[in-house]
């Protein structure tokens, strides 16, 4: 793939470039999203199988019901809880890998260098700790703003939307990456909001398409334990498909937005022309902070 035309993009051009890059490298991005999430799906399906069938049936928790469900024991419930906790941990690790690998893949492709699923995922291994810190700090800051009012939370999410590309491509720590995102997105929160809004619309459309039919099946099988398990498993598979199809869209858009902001504010296109290896070199730090 040749190097893309690095120039300031309108929001329409940015989104068009996002979908073009996704479409031309569909198997790459789907593979990056799917491989880490396959283990999560496997754990979810195991949890569905191990969950006592009668736990999903709307019946009172009487002694007769307890006696009729030998699997419904303290040990069984504890095992399900442990499995759920393990699933959460595995999901978070898978999320880190898929997010980080997608950013690296976009960086390579956007700058005209080929990459593979394995190469992109392998680059994340040494950055898991930093990436974990960035996502946790981002979540805390955004979450606190949402507690104040909805609007400040949305605004903060827009200002921090390029913190992951900044952290990975410029080798920044959690706090520095958030401040870097704040500096880059200054006067560009509206464009970031449109990217987030499009992602949310696509996400809910995908969930409606792949989840809702099975959710109706779960409701209709409320009194049939065997079918309840089948429909629940299918719903997990539908959620998996929706996730791997939609998640790359926002990460690709955020990564391209990151490069666009650097082109606009730091003449990154000229830096790259003079030094083709400058993709991950941070620009001089500004005084922009989280209150800017």
- Asked, for residue 121, whether it belongs to a domain, the answer is yes
- Asked, for residue 78, whether it belongs to a domain, the answer is yes
Digit-coded pLDDT (tens) for 160-204? 999 999 999 999 999 999 999 999 999 999 999 999 999 999 999
Do residues 11 and 260 make contact, with C-beta atoms less than 8 angstroms apart?
no
- Model confidence, pTM: 0.84
Whose tokens are 């809702």? That residue is: 212
Whose tokens are 């080929």? That residue is: 114
- Asked, for residue 199, whether it belongs to a domain, the answer is yes
Do residues 191 and 157 make contact, with C-beta atoms less than 8 angstroms apart?
no
- Asked, for residue 3, whether it belongs to a domain, the answer is no
- Asked, for residue 276, whether it belongs to a domain, the answer is yes
- Asked, for residue 109, whether it belongs to a domain, the answer is yes
Residue 269 is part of which domain span?
11-280
Digit-coded pLDDT (tens) for 237-287? 999 999 999 999 999 999 999 999 998 888 765 555 555 555 555 554 554
- Asked, for residue 286, whether it belongs to a domain, the answer is no
Task: Report how far residue 96's alpha carbon sits from residue 59's, in angstroms, rounded to the nearest whole number.
Answer: 40
DSSP state of 282: P
Digit-coded pLDDT (tens) for 80-137? 788 778 888 888 999 999 999 999 999 999 878 899 999 999 999 888 889 999 999 9
Number of domains making up the chain: 1
Tokens matching residue 150: 């909805």
Asked if the model's pLDDT at residue 39 lies above 70, the reply is yes
Asked if the model's pLDDT at residue 64 lies above 90, the reply is no
- Asked, for residue 239, whether it belongs to a domain, the answer is yes
């Amino acid at each position: 793939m040749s190097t893309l035309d690095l120039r300031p993009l309108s929001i329409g051009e940015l989104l068009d470039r996002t979908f073009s890059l996704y479409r031309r490298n569909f198997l790459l991005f789907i593979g990056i999203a799917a491989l880490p999430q396959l283990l999560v799906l496997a754990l979810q399906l195991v949890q569905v199988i191990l969950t006592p069938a009668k736990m999903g049936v709307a019946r009172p928790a009487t002694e007769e019901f307890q006696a009729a469900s030998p699997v419904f024991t303290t040990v069984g419930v504890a095992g399900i809880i442990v499995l759920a906790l393990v699933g959460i941990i595995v999901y978070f690790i898978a999320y880190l890998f898929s997010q980080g690998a997608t950013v690296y893949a976009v960086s390579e492709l956007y700058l005209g260098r080929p990459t593979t699923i394995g190469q992109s995922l392998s680059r994340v291994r040494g950055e898991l700790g930093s990436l974990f810190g960035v996502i946790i700090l981002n979540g805390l800051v955004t979450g606190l703003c949402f507690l104040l009012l909805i609007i400040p939370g949305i605004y903060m999410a827009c200002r921090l939307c390029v913190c992951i590309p900044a952290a990975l491509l410029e080798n920044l720590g959690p706090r520095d990456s958030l401040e870097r995102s704040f500096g880059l997105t200054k006067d560009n929160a509206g464009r970031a909001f449109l990217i987030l809004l499009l992602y949310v619309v696509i996400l809910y459309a995908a969930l409606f398409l792949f989840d809702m039919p099975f959710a109706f099946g779960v409701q209709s099988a409320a009194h049939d334990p065997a079918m309840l398990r089948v429909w629940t498993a299918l719903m997990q598979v539908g959620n998996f498909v929706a996730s791997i199809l939609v998640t790359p869209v926002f990460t690709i858009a955020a990564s391209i937005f990151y490069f666009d902001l650097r082109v606009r504010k730091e003449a990154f296109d000229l830096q790259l022309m003079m030094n083709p290896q400058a993709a991950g070199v941070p620009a001089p730090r500004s005084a922009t902070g989280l209150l800017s």
